[in-house]
Amino acid sequence: MSLDRDTLLDIYTRTMKVARFDEKMRSLLMSGKLATIYYTMRGQELVTSAMMAALNQDDYLVTTYRGQHDQIAKGVPLDLLIAEIAGRATGTCKGKGGSMHITHPATGVMVTTGVVGSGLPIANGLALSSQNRKDGKVTVTCFGDGATNIGAFHEAMNMAQLYKLPVIFLCQNNRYGEHTAFADHTRVDSIVTRAAAYGMKGVKVDGNDAVAMYAAAKEAVDRARAGEGPTLIEAMCYRMMGHFFGADFSYMPPEHIEEMKAEDPLPKLNALMLEHQFTQAELDAIVAKLEAEIEAAVEFAFSSPFPDADEIRKDVFEEEIAA
Amino acid sequence: MSEAETLEAVAPRAKKPKQITMVQALNAAIDEAMAADEGVILLGEDVGAKQGGGVFKVSSGLTEKYGEHRIRATPISEQAIMGACVGAALTGMRPIAEIMLMNFVTVAMDQIVNHAAKLRFMSGGQTNVPMVIRTTTGVGVGFGGQHSDMLEAWFAHVPGLKIVTPSNAADARGLMRSAIECNDPVIFIENILCYGLKSDDPGTDYRVPLGQAAIAREGSDVSLITYGRTVLDALEVAETLAAESVSVEVIDLRTIAPFDEATVTASVRKTGRAVVLHEAVRAYGTGAEIASRLHESLFNELKAPVQRIGGAFSAVPMASVLEQAWIPKKEEIAAAIRTTMDWKR
Ligand SMILES: Cc1ncc(C[n+]2csc(CCOP(=O)(O)OP(=O)(O)O)c2C)c(N)n1
Ligand SMILES: [Mg+2]
């Protein structure tokens, strides 16, 4: 399969938006301008951009603490996102959520959870709602390789297949769960083998290959929309840095580091674009535009006010808590 | 015509209202809510028609009316049930999760505490979770340590959850309707021993507002504050003590959290004495919170320190003699009341 130029350009733009955003965040953290917990997605940019390119704006997404790429690729406005990460009143969640809890229903981002594996059962509920209402929406839930060892994964996979829910389980297998390598937390070679245990369709794909990743995503979306039920996608990728920004990753063996550098999705995608007769100048122009957008978003975020202390009494319940 | 027959003919006796059990009341409330709103769905183990409408028959007849898409018989997967309800609620549906027994809620705590309770707040009010978690429990039927606990204090400690428990069938009907209509997650605790209790049927579209306690019996000497099954014990003790000229006011909280501070404070301000009673373990229970609040707000007006009565500090035992030793006893309640009456400063 090959990709048409529009789709390719779409994937490229989403990917580079994520990549430049991530660079900016790391530089803000490094310089001390921003102080917060931040889980970089360096190395996983393409997986999610290809997935989101296969979705509609109103499809649902449930993701994790390492989910800023998922949210951006899904369409969360950068200014609101960065303001939220910086704890400002203008953020998506008024500064009450932060990077681990980004929510933006307007772009379908319904939940971002900091609890490993908890997004899967919730994704089923969103999909169950779509099934009952026949609204044609598809739900995608992103999680890591480590998350497949928590009970919630098992319960959710079984229920999704039982009800044939329009949900896609996108496992971004970055080969580590915190400091623990894949082979040290799981006996099977591939997570996708587990799909069979639920009678579910499973696909393993190279998440750094735009063509293959998009094909897998598209097929899963089409199946879900057609009422054919869920798919487990295991997208192979690398976590090219520590677990969170600033964390040590000296536990990664040198061979692993060599391997992941060779598989870096960004240069690979650039080469693919050139193969498809995009010029480097065209691509650079796209990136320059994205960089300007990111600068403006950062400016917006840092010039925004902090939330009012009264916010603590709001949104606990529908009715405000008395002072 | 005899005198009785004449009376009947002239003024037919007011028709005696229909009586319903708590199970029928809950079934009726859910049925009505499902008829009124397509978004109301029920997920739980054995709840479908094929399984006989639930272990306690609360969902009896509902699959036949609303179909398997709305009455979802689930695998034994409490996390998946709870998560699915959270997700559906985020889209504006009003799911009801049936957790067969309250102890099994413990395997779904993450979804309740980290998600259902917090998503409204953490999203800055962009989303909310209008779901009901129905669950049942109760001490006194020999179910032992893992099938009897009252865990309301755990949930009352979590911002974002409302906790409701009816003591009679009419309240069950009205509270269930309100819980389903609430835009935040509600934990609805049913006591197995109350399922067969009958009330006059309050009829369709009956609602008891959340957050409002009821004065189950008026009195002037002591306020006895309780909820759920122990309301029945409280009323009995109040009757017994009336013979000793002690006038006990019984308050049925109905909603445990948020706490109806206004009703309770007004009562205790009037009586000057309070006893808090619950079936849950006494230590660190909701009674401690209530007693503390009363001491904070009414210290100078109290004629005696607030007394607390609750379950013993052990797992709920199986053997009937032990179970009866574990559970708060009527003599204990009466003794606590007398303690407040006899208190000398
Ligand atoms: C239930 C739970 N246990 C432990 C943690 C701490 N924790 C945060 S991320 C993480 C590793 C998860 O690995 P994986 O699922 O592979 O995702 P990745 O971080 O690689 O994207 C752990 C153990 C948590 N957040 N939640
Ligand atoms: Mg991982």
Residue B104, pLDDT score:
98
Rounded to whole angstroms, how far apart are CA atoms B183 and B128? Answer: 7
- Contact between B120 and A315 using a beta-carbon 8 Å cutoff: yes
Closest of A121, A74, A129 to residue A102, by C-alpha: A74
The minimum CA-CA distance between A129 and chain B, rounded to whole Å, is 5
Contacts of A315 (CB under 8 A, 6+ apart): A94, A96, B120, B121, B123, B124, B125
Mean pLDDT within B26-51: 97
Domain locations in chain A as residue ranges? 5-294
- pTM to 2 decimals? 0.96
Q: Is B123 on the interface with A (CB under 8 A)?
A: yes
* The CATH fold of domain B214-342: Rossmann fold (3.40.50)
Asked whether the predicted pLDDT for residue B101 surpasses 70, the reply is yes
- Mean pLDDT over all residues of chain B? 96
Residue A236 pairs in a beta bridge with: A173, A206
In B146-162, which positions are buried (b, 16+ CB within 10 angstroms) versus exposed (e)? ebbbbbbbbbbebebbb
Asked whether the predicted pLDDT for residue B99 surpasses 80, the reply is yes
Amino acid at site A217: A
Q: Which of B32, B45, B115, B147 is catalytic?
A: B147
Mean pLDDT within B24-52: 97
Of B80, B127, B162, the CB nearest to A155: B80
Residues of chain B with pLDDT > 90, as a percent, come to: 94
Domain locations in chain B as residue ranges? 19-200, 214-342
| CA-proximal residue: ligand 1, atom 18 (nearest) | A144
Closest of A64, A73, A75 to residue A37, by C-alpha: A64
Contact list in A for residue B38 (CB cut-off 8 A) is 132
The closest ligand to the CA of A241 turns out to be: 1
Rounded to whole angstroms, how far apart are CA atoms B139 and B222? Answer: 26
- Mean pLDDT over all residues of chain A? 97
The answer, yes or no, to whether the previous bond of B305 is cis (omega within 30 of 0) is no
Residue A24 near residue A293, CB atoms below 8 Å: no
pLDDT digits (tens, 9 = 90+) for A111-125: 999 999 999 999 999
Rounded to whole angstroms, how far apart are CA atoms A252 and B334? Answer: 68
Rounded to whole angstroms, how far apart are CA atoms B9 and A299? Answer: 86
Rounded to whole angstroms, how far apart are CA atoms B305 and B309? Answer: 13
Residue B16, pLDDT score:
78
pLDDT digits (tens, 9 = 90+) for A189-221: 999 999 999 999 999 999 999 999 999 999 999
Mean pLDDT within A243-248: 93
Helix, strand or coil for residue B115? helix
Which tokens belong to B322? Answer: 């032990």
Helix, strand or coil for residue A32? coil
> Concatenated DSSP letters for A139-174?
EEEEEESGGGGSHHHHHHHHHHHHHT-SEEEEEEE-
Asked whether the predicted pLDDT for residue B4 surpasses 70, the reply is no
Spacing, Cα A15 to ligand 1 middle (Å): 24
Residue B345, pLDDT score:
82
pLDDT confidence bin for A73, thresholds 50/70/90: very high
pLDDT digits (tens, 9 = 90+) for B270-323: 999 999 999 999 999 999 999 999 999 999 999 999 999 999 999 999 999 999
CATH for A5-294 (3.40.50.970, 1.10.150.20, 1.10.600.10, 3.40.50.300) = 3.40.50.970
pLDDT confidence bin for B120, thresholds 50/70/90: very high
In A37-66, which positions are buried (b, 16+ CB within 10 angstroms) versus exposed (e)? ebbbbbbbbbbbbbbbbbbeeebbbbbbbb
Interior angle at CA B193, CA B192 and CA B198, nearest 5: 105
- Contact between A94 and B125 using a beta-carbon 8 Å cutoff: yes
- Contact between B89 and A162 using a beta-carbon 8 Å cutoff: no
Rounded to whole angstroms, how far apart are CA atoms B335 and B75? Answer: 47
pLDDT digits (tens, 9 = 90+) for A124-183: 999 999 999 999 999 999 999 999 999 999 999 999 999 999 999 999 999 999 999 999
Mean pLDDT within A307-320: 98
pLDDT confidence bin for B46, thresholds 50/70/90: very high
Helix, strand or coil for residue B275? strand
Residue B2, pLDDT score:
56
Residue A71 near residue A21, CB atoms below 8 Å: no
B19-200: which CATH architecture?
3-Layer(aba) Sandwich (3.40)
Mean pLDDT within A81-92: 98
Topology match between the domains B19-200 and B214-342: yes
